[in-house]
Amino acid sequence: METTTCALVVGAGPVGLTLAAELRRHGAACRVIDSLPRPTGWAKAVGIQPRTLEIWEQMGVVREAIAAGVWLRGQLQFTDGVAGDPYELRVPDGTYGFLALPQYEVERILTEHLARLGTEVERGVELRSFTQDAGGVSATLALPDGSARTVRAGYLVGCDGAHSTVRHGLDLSFEGDRFPEEYMLGDVEVDWSMPAGYALRFLADAPDGGRDLLVCVPLPGHNRYRLSMRAPADLRRDDGPGHGIVTDRPGPGLARIQEVVDRLVPGKPAVGHLRWSSLFGISHRLADRYGAGRVFVCGDAAHIHPPTGAQGANTGMQDAYNLAWKLALALRGVAAPGLLSTYDTERRPVGEEVVGRTVRYARTQSLGDADATHLAREGQLLVAYPGSPLSGEAQDPPGGGPRPGERAPDVQGLTQEGLGFPVRLFDLLQGPGHTLILYADAATGLDDAETPAGLLRVYVVLAPGGPPPEPGVQVFRDATGAFRDRYAAGPSAAYLIRPDGYVGFRARPMDLGAVTAHLRNTFG
């Protein structure tokens, strides 16, 4: 029997791999199973949002991802053969841009990262059923040799997709509907001279009524794209897939893809070098809860929606990023009693908003205006948890700065004695655990913080020219005033940053007793 200090993760896609890697990084044991004998090699999800790249920086894989992907510069739309104005994807201030990276590359990078952390994916292992009690979860697994085995784990997390065995086992509702259209995907090269790094959308009246659509997302390689288009009537089935890739019918060949390109793309460029193709369907559904007791669901197991705006895999990986640090504390026996319930409290509203937004985009065939706020929302930089029990403040003074529950933005230009180079705030947030940033224009009271040993890093940020604190505290200078301005920190402030990069608590002016009291919502 497995130990109940271990989590069992079902599914080794981007979501399950993120969860497992973060559990390991936070010092918790886990086991990862996947029913497939090997990765599919499909380029299903391809868009990576700025917020996900920030997460990958904290995980330690962002450079590898950037090297394997291609930056998305924007989108060009052709309506009835006429090009519209470019939709530019400007890089949000102080963060990453938008990256195209095939899902199989995401899975490769995360699988290798997980292996470096000491955990291998167990392939060809299927979850058949499970029960839970006050002490853990008993799961029955079907092994590659055809035998069955019952294992014991402290927690079970279903990252097993739209048809999740875990969600069904919890008897969660999954309300929503299916789009009537069926679509085709193809990973091909296109012989044209379109500008590199731009997604292409072609719209026209369809031969059988409605609007015809072709979406081309750039992939790494010369003129390589993942094409998405409506499937012709002779390839569709009335009982087509509720959601996702069709596995019981062959995908379209090059000739069928070329037919759509000839119909919609000016100049009828040739397509070739087909690497992979499939039929797929789209639904929009949301689980009524993201878990019960010791069992949780993440990603497509909890929410499915149209792929418009590349929100799906990113939302799922951020589900896992939110849950992992909380689950790790529970497995280590140091979590407050209600900590795990905040996963549903925080992430289900996010899933509900994403489902609603992507359905609107799909029905209107519009992504909205490319202004800074819209791009930040599409980049998932505006996701926030303002009503969470883990979000609080000692005072609510006037002024700006990130509010409790909002993403903690990066700041550049911090300096430290002995370093001949500036430091970013994100550098201080590296590593597992919470981070407490104490800002002051003087050193008074900075050594009085009562913090849980080994669970909290404390840094002091001083205004230029302020006196140094007593020895034993890591001190950085806000040399340009960037931290003070971005965090509205003067004359003193305390910011508690959660392991997932969100502001958990702030006190302006600094109130260390209030910070310590708030930490009891997290640590038991």
Tens digit of each residue's pLDDT (9 = 90 or more) over 223-240: 999 999 988 877 776 655
429, 444 Cβ separation under 8 angstroms: no
Give the Å distances, CA to CA, from 145 to 9, 120, 511.
21, 18, 60
> Among candidates 163, 220, 164, 231, which has minimal Cα distance to 196?
220
Structure confidence by residue, pLDDT tens digits, 263-281: 999 999 999 999 999 988 8
**What confidence tens digit (pLDDT) does each residue in 402-436 have?**
999 999 999 999 999 889 999 999 999 998 999 99
pLDDT at 243 over 60: yes
* Structure token digits, residue 187: 């990973």
Mean of pLDDT over the chain: 90
Q: Is the pLDDT of residue 366 over 70?
A: no
* pLDDT recorded at residue 256: 94
For residues 387-404, give the mean pLDDT: 88
Does residue 368 surpass a pLDDT of 70? no
Q: What is the pLDDT of residue 43?
A: 80
| Contact predicate 516/451, CB 8 Å | yes
Please state the domain extents for the chain.
6-65+101-175+284-378, 177-283, 392-519
pLDDT in tens, 429-476: 998 999 999 998 865 555 554 555 557 899 999 988 766 666 567 899
Q: Cα–Cα distances in Å, from 312 out to 85, 110, 167, 380, 395?
A: 27, 17, 18, 11, 36
Average pLDDT of the residues in 342-349: 98
| Residue 230 bridge partners (DSSP) | 183
Band of the pLDDT at 365, cuts 50, 70, 90?
A: low
pLDDT value for 443: 55
Find residue 278's DSSP bridge partners.
Answer: 185
CB atoms within 10 A of CB 385: 24
Q: What is the pLDDT of residue 88?
A: 87
Instruction: Extract the tokens encoding 505.
Output: 């608590």
DSSP calls for 396-415: --SS-SPPTTSB------EE
In this chain, the answer to whether the domains covering 6-65+101-175+284-378 and 177-283 adopt an identical fold is no
Q: Percentage of the chain with pLDDT > 70?
A: 91
pLDDT at position 524, please? 80
pLDDT in tens, 53-107: 999 999 999 999 999 999 999 999 999 989 888 888 888 778 999 999 999 999 9
Q: What is the pTM of this model?
A: 0.94
Q: Is 162's pLDDT higher than 80?
A: yes
CATH of 177-283, one of 2.40.70.10, 3.40.30.10, 3.40.50.300, 3.30.70.2450: 3.30.70.2450
Which residue type does 504 have? G
CATH number of 6-65+101-175+284-378: 3.50.50.60
The pLDDT value recorded for residue 331 is: 97
pLDDT band at residue 210 under the 50/70/90 scheme: confident
Label residue 45 by pLDDT band (50, 70, 90).
Answer: confident
Closest to 383 (Cα-Cα) out of 410, 402, 360? 402
- Answer whether 460's CB lies under 8 Å from 474's CB: yes
Mean pLDDT over residues 487-492, rounded?
A: 90
Which of 326, 261, 247 has its CA nearest to residue 294? 326
pLDDT confidence bin for 401, thresholds 50/70/90: very high
Q: Which pair of tokens denotes residue 131?
A: 């029960």
ω into 509 cis (within 30 of 0): yes
Question: In the structure, what pLDDT confidence band is assigned to residue 135 with cuts at 50, 70 and 90?
Answer: very high
| CATH number of this structure's domain 392-519 | 3.40.30.120
Report the pLDDT averaged over residues 121-125: 98
Calpha distance 365→377 (Å, rounded): 18
Q: How far apart are alpha carbons 55 and 353 in whole angstroms?
A: 21
pLDDT at 2: 52
Q: Which of 30, 332, 6, 262 is nearest to 152 (CA)?
A: 6
Q: Starting at the edge strand that comes first in sequence, how are the strands of the sheet with 47-48 ordered?
A: 47-48, 98-100, 70-72
pLDDT of amino acid 370: 66
Among 283, 260, 2, smallest CA distance to 130 is for: 2
- Both tokens of residue 442? 């003087």
Angle at 39 between CA 37 and CA 43, to 5 degrees: 150
Phi, psi of 429 (to 5 degrees): -90, 0
Flag whether pLDDT at 367 surpasses 70: no
What is residue 182's predicted lDDT score, i.e. its pLDDT? 85
**What's the pLDDT band for 242 if we cut at 50, 70, 90?**
low
Highest mean pLDDT among 209-213, 404-408, 413-417, 513-517: 404-408
CA–CA distance, 29 with 524 (Å, rounded to integer): 20
Give the Cβ contact number of residue 213 at 10 Å: 18
The residue type at 83: A
Q: How confident is the model at residue 310 (pLDDT cuts 50, 70, 90)?
A: confident
**Omega before 491 cis (within 30°)?**
yes
Give the pLDDT confidence score for residue 193 in this predicted structure: 92
Determine the pLDDT at residue 514: 93
